[in-house]
Amino acid sequence: MGNKQSNPSTIYKSLKLLYTTAVRCQNIHGDQQALTYYIQALNQIQSMHLTTPNIEQLHYDIVRNLCDIYIRQLDITQANKFIGDYDGALFDHEKSIEMKLKIYGHEVLDISDSYFNIGNVYKDQGKYDDAIYMYEKSLNISLTALGDNHPIIATTYSEIGNIYSNQGNYDSAIYMYEKSLKIQWSTLSGNHPSIAMTYQNMAIVYHNQSRYDDAICMYEKSLKIFLLTLGNNDPSTATTYLNIANVYSDQGQYDDAICMYNKSLKIVSLTLGNNHPSTAITYQYIADVYLDQDKYDDAICMYEKSLQIDLPTLGNNHPRIATTYNRIATVYEHQSKYNYAVSMYEKSLKIQFSTLCYNHPSIATTYSNIGTVYGYQGNYDKAVYMLEKSFKIQSSTLGNNHLSIATTCNNLAVVYDYQGKFDKSIFMYEKSLKIQLSTLGNNHPSIVSTYNNMVSVYSHQGKYDDVRCMFEKSIKIQLSTLGNNHPSFSTTYHNMATVDLHYGKYNDAIRMFKKSLKIELSTLSNSHCSIAATYINMGLVYDYQGKYDEAICMCKKSLKITLPILGYNHPVIGITYNNMGLIYYDQDKYDEAICMYEKSLKISLSVLGSHHPQIASIYNNIGSVYENQGKYDDAICMYEKSLKIQLLTLGNKHRSLTNTYNNMAIVYSNQGKYNDAICMHEKSLEINISIFGYNHPNIAITYCNMGLVYINQGKYDIAVYMCKKSLKINLSILGNNHPHIASTYSIIGKAYHFQGKYDEAIRMYEKSLKIYFSTLGNNHHKIANIYNGMGLIYEEQGEYDNAVCILEKSLKIQLSTFGNNHPHTAAMYQNIGLLYHRQGRYEDAICMYKKSLKISLSTLGNNHSSIATTYQNLGLTYHEQGKYEDAVCMYKKSLKMYLSTLGNNHFSIAITYNNLANIYDCQGKYDNAIFLYKKMFKIQLSTVGKNHPSIAATYNNMGMVYFHLGQYDIADYMNKESLKINFSALRINHPFIASVYHNKGIILEYQGKYDEALCMYEKSIKLRLSTLGSNHPRIATTYNSKGNIYYSQGKYDKAISFFKKTAAILVKAPLQNRQYLDQIYRNIAVCYDKLNRYYPMDMRWISSDIRSRMR
């Protein structure tokens, strides 16, 4: 006779007993002891041939709890055995409800349990609204059956609170937890572990809200209960210490965090042993703190301790080993050791492939991490490839609406932003946003991050209205969910300050940073690194404003916070010294700048090694100082050191290389090595094209940089061609209203200006102005720069009223932006002074220079190169007034400053020698003049080489001195050398060459070689007409010279013709040129007398008018 089969009801009670025993063990003793009972119950269910709805429900609860345990233990292989089909689970639960309704006829507590379990499934799927709906259905049945003061009601409130917490609806979450807590207080003892768990849940919400003090308070309440009921060596106590440590870590109280982690570690080691996985996990948390502190070696040490525990106990092929490799890779990322990071991620990936299915979400995460590293390396195509692999896996396993997919979309958007594919970037952010809105609602803090990321793209596109819109949306969410004092507000204010900085709204930027600082000071400890970072950012703004003392003060405040926390040898300290170096650099305090850079370099070398990109950046900064000092060879040496590191660590196609090549191009351009400069820009161009393709804003910028070199070479048509190539790219990507477009128009305007195409230049500047007005407002310093350019053109055209008007507009902007005591304002007074100088209004010019001098002395000290420049300009004005001794005094003051600030081999020193030599030439002190020209020549040879146009100019000037000495052969030799250099360095119709032809004509004229002189003058006129137009004062000078020769030859009709041409130009020329008009008219009158012809009345009248004005 067969065995009698047990009654299903009896079997269910037996299984229920095992299940409740497992749950109780789990709550009191932890996961490991509970596993035995769960697995025993599961084996019994799987051996059964028949089942009931209640047993099916119990089966699901057991499987779900087992899965949770294995996931907590990071045993993904075991967890995967229990992860079933969510839709299948829902089907089973709904079938169970249907059967129960048939049995009971109405909704009873068993049906409430089924609704509750369906809510759990929806929660696991991230379908939070559906989960809340099911929990509320369960709650309504339970309230009817049990009343409003039962522990089951409290549990349901807690689960609803958890959903609200996941959605970022923190106030609603706290409200639910408080309802749960109220029931627990009335039904359970005051020290029950369930109450402690509710305190823990509330603490998590407060932590997410950055209400750190409230979070600590809740954790301490929870800790008090655990210590009382479970003792001070229970795993729950250890977990609470761990959670408190996490709060301290986020507050930047790293020492307190380490202390709490060590307390947790002590309990775990005591109860579970030194080689238990939980001990390894605690080491990982400690490593995370070291990573936040940028203590990379300590972080690696802790991760390796974790590995030493996990490898013997879990084997070398366990998912948790893969997770540790991932974290070590993160450290290498922070160190910019990208190849090491990729290697670690690949080790992780190898483990995941062997333990997980090929399309597991964890593999997708690793692909995403590798893609991020490729993005940092500038390998954008590889980055996109990896991120798309991640996206494909996530879509197939998680559905199209999972938050992990939103994260991957965000990462793809960042890469597209770097690539300049702005429309694609926005498309990806919008996909991410759509997922976040559907899963988290339209008011979740995570959505703020996406809005902030979109700000970056809209800023790059110059769509500042969209930027403001994103900020407003972001602030609206933060106010409604976090209040106006949350640290995330600090981030938003930081971002707004950055945009204001871009606009040139420096006061608004400072205001935003102060708002950020106020929040940080109230929510974080006074010694938090985030506060130090805000001080650094404020220092940056003050630097832009020329408030250098305030800028240095901010850096010192930052150091005061970071030095006690991080020590003297930390990368952050190095970065702060680097920033101080930049401020001293802007002040032209080059020795102090070098000192700071060297401090930064010393720290960075000891912490990061000699091949870190940050080292390359410091070498670049030192190179910039040497460049400004005119130490061009030293500058190139530094840039080459930087380049060597970048090539070694980042490869030969990284975007960082383009900055170094551009810096080298600037030096070569300053040296007159224009072909080398173009070569550097072409290298930069090649890299940008390989990264971004042919249609990216970076390509456009490189074309503009090349255009500036061609302007320096006098190759104006090629310069304009390059700028138009740049325009074509930017117009297709950024539209016709972006600041980059305005900048390009201004460079084209500069080229037209040098060509003497004044109307076209003005038209370009006006196009530039129109864009700047609409994008930056009418008070930005870039607009002031455009006004300066226009003012110079009006001045050269003799439209002095327009010139003064436009320069005053520029001055007004500088005053409103930087105040009346800023170096930029001083520079503006210099420009106005130069205008007055060229008008012959010498006293007004001197007044402006003295205003400039007063500001510069108060802001830059009494030994700055800008002050030396002002003395130079004063010297030039005194020279024009014939006050030679005063001029020499000014030049010597200037020379003394240049020598002390720039050394004795700087180009500015050479210019000063040139100006002094010009005076000695005017005074007839020819030997002194030659001596200074030779000193100038020596500097030029050492700084810019023997083939630079400035060398040609020196030969030209020395030739004129030898001409005055009557040494015509030497003068002729000098003239030929000048021509030879100009022909090799400049295009054949450059104005410099025209000047050399003119001077050659003068020499030949004095030698009586009139036909040869006329030939030279004709060559000069032809060149000047092609570059300067027909109305330029320099052409008038050459016409006058031709008139003089024809007069000497007795060809009076021809002489009159050229004198009239001269007069026609000079009438429209600046005032200091018009002083020669009177002599021109006298020359015409003499010619008429020689021809015995009548001198026209209108000529005599004009001559009289000129004389009256000259008085």
pLDDT in tens, 768-809: 999 988 877 788 778 988 999 999 888 777 677 788 889 889
Helices 571-586 and 529-545 cross at an angle (nearest 10°) of: 10
**Cβ-based neighbours of 136, under 8 Å, separated by 6 or more:** 160
| Axis crossing angle, helix 1052-1066 with helix 1077-1090, rounded to the nearest 10 | 160
Which pLDDT score, from 0 to 100, does residue 1 have?
A: 36
pLDDT at position 208 = 81
Provide the CB-side half-sphere exposure for 999 (13 A, CA): 28
Pick from 427, 433, 473, 471: nearest CA to 450: 433
CA distance 991 to 659: 32
| Residue 1062 · residue 1083 · CB < 8 Å | no
1012-1021 tens-digit pLDDT: 999 999 999 9
pLDDT band per the 50, 70, 90 thresholds, residue 1110: very low
pLDDT at 1100 exceeding the cut of 60: no
User: In terms of C-beta distances under 8 Å and separation of at least 24 residues, what long-range contacts does 225-230 make, across chains too?
Assistant: 225/191, 225/192, 225/193, 225/195, 225/196, 225/199, 226/193, 226/196, 228/191, 229/191, 229/192, 229/193, 229/196, 230/28, 230/193
Q: Which residues contact 312 (CB under 8 A, 6 or more apart)?
A: 275
Answer for the pair 1065, 1035: CB distance below 8 angstroms, yes or no.
yes
Lowest mean pLDDT among 22-26, 665-669, 698-702, 1090-1094: 22-26
Confidence of residue 932 (pLDDT cuts 50, 70, 90): very high
Task: State the Cα–Cα distance between residues 238 and 271, nearest whole angstrom.
Answer: 10
pLDDT tier, 1073 (very low <50, low <70, confident <90, very high otherwise): low
Q: Indicate the range of 5-14, 472-481, 518-527, 546-555 predicted with least confidence.
A: 5-14
Higher pLDDT, 105 or 759: 759
Residue 26 is predicted with a pLDDT of 64
Judged against a pLDDT cut of 50, whether residue 750 lies above it is answered with yes
Over residues 565-588, the mean pLDDT reads 87
Contact partners, residue 832, CB within 8 Å, separation at least 6: 804, 807, 808, 811, 848
Instruction: Decide if 306 contacts 286 (C-beta within 8 A).
Output: no
User: For residue 444, which of 218, 213, 208 has the smallest C-alpha distance?
Assistant: 208
Give Cα separations from 597 to 82, 550, 717, 798 (angstroms): 58, 20, 41, 47
Q: What digits encode the pLDDT tens for the residues 824-875?
A: 888 889 888 988 887 778 899 999 999 999 988 887 778 777 889 999 999 9
Which tokens is 572 given? 């952050």
Query: Confidence band (pLDDT; 50, 70, 90) for 234?
Result: confident
Number of residues that this document lists for the chain: 1111
Q: pLDDT grade, residue 14 (50/70/90)?
A: low
Q: How confident is the model at residue 153 (pLDDT cuts 50, 70, 90)?
A: very high
What is the rounded distance in angstroms from the CA atom of residue 487 to the CA atom of residue 929?
67
946: burial class by Cβ within 10 Å (0-12, 13-18, 19+)?
exposed
**pLDDT at residue 923 greater than cutoff 50:** yes
Tokens linked to 684: 């930069």
Predicted local confidence at residue 74, as pLDDT: 44
Crossing angle between the packed helical segments 109-125 and 128-146, to the nearest 10 degrees: 160
pLDDT at 4 over 50: no
For residues 549-560, average pLDDT: 94
Q: Which helix (H) or strand (E) holds 433?
A: helix 422-440
For the purposes of burial, counting CB atoms within 10 Å of the CB of 564, is it exposed (0-12), middle (13-18) or buried (19 or more)?
Answer: exposed
Q: What are phi and psi of 1031, to 5 degrees?
A: -125, 20
* Amino acid 831: pLDDT: 86
pLDDT-based confidence at 1108, cuts 50/70/90?
very low
- What was the pLDDT predicted at 1028? 67
Task: Evaluate if residue 1111 carries a pLDDT over 50.
Answer: no
Global confidence as pTM:
0.65
Burial class (CB in 10 A: 0-12, 13-18, 19+), 165: buried
* Distance, CA of 682 to CA of 674 (rounded, Å): 12
pLDDT of amino acid 27: 59
Average pLDDT over residues 922-942: 91
* pLDDT over threshold 90, residue 384: yes
**pLDDT tens readout for residues 352-371:** 888 877 788 889 999 999 99
Q: Work out the percent of the chain whose per-residue pLDDT is above 70.
A: 88
pLDDT in tens, 621-673: 999 998 877 678 899 999 999 999 988 877 888 878 999 999 999 988 877 78
Contact 849, 873 (CB under 8 A): yes
At residue 104 the predicted structure's pLDDT band, cuts being 50, 70 and 90, is low
> CA 707, 710, 714: angle at the middle one, nearest 5?
135
pLDDT of the residue at 69: 67
| Secondary structure of 49-94 as H, E, C letters | CCCCHHHHHHHHHHHHHHHHHHHHCCCHHHHHHHCCCHHHHHHHHH
Query: How much of the chain, in percent, has pLDDT values that exceed 90?
Result: 35
Q: Name the average pLDDT for the chain.
A: 84
* Tens digits of residue pLDDT in 990-999: 777 888 899 8
Q: What is the pLDDT of residue 24?
A: 63
> Whose structure tokens read 């994260």?
407
Q: Average pLDDT of 812-820?
A: 81
Q: What is the pLDDT of residue 499?
A: 80
**Is residue 386 scored above 60 in pLDDT?**
yes
- Of 550-559, 989-998, 1093-1102, the range with the lowest mean pLDDT is 1093-1102
Query: How would residue 83 be classed by pLDDT, with cut points 50, 70 and 90?
Result: very low
Assign 1103 a pLDDT band (cuts: 50, 70, 90). very low
- Residue 32 above 80 pLDDT? no
Comparing 318 with 685, which gets the higher pLDDT?
Answer: 685
pLDDT band at 701 (very low <50, low <70, confident <90, very high): very high
Is residue 1064 predicted with pLDDT exceeding 60? yes
Give residue 49's pLDDT.
53
* Region at 483 (left for phi over 0; alpha for psi -120 to 50; beta for the rest): left
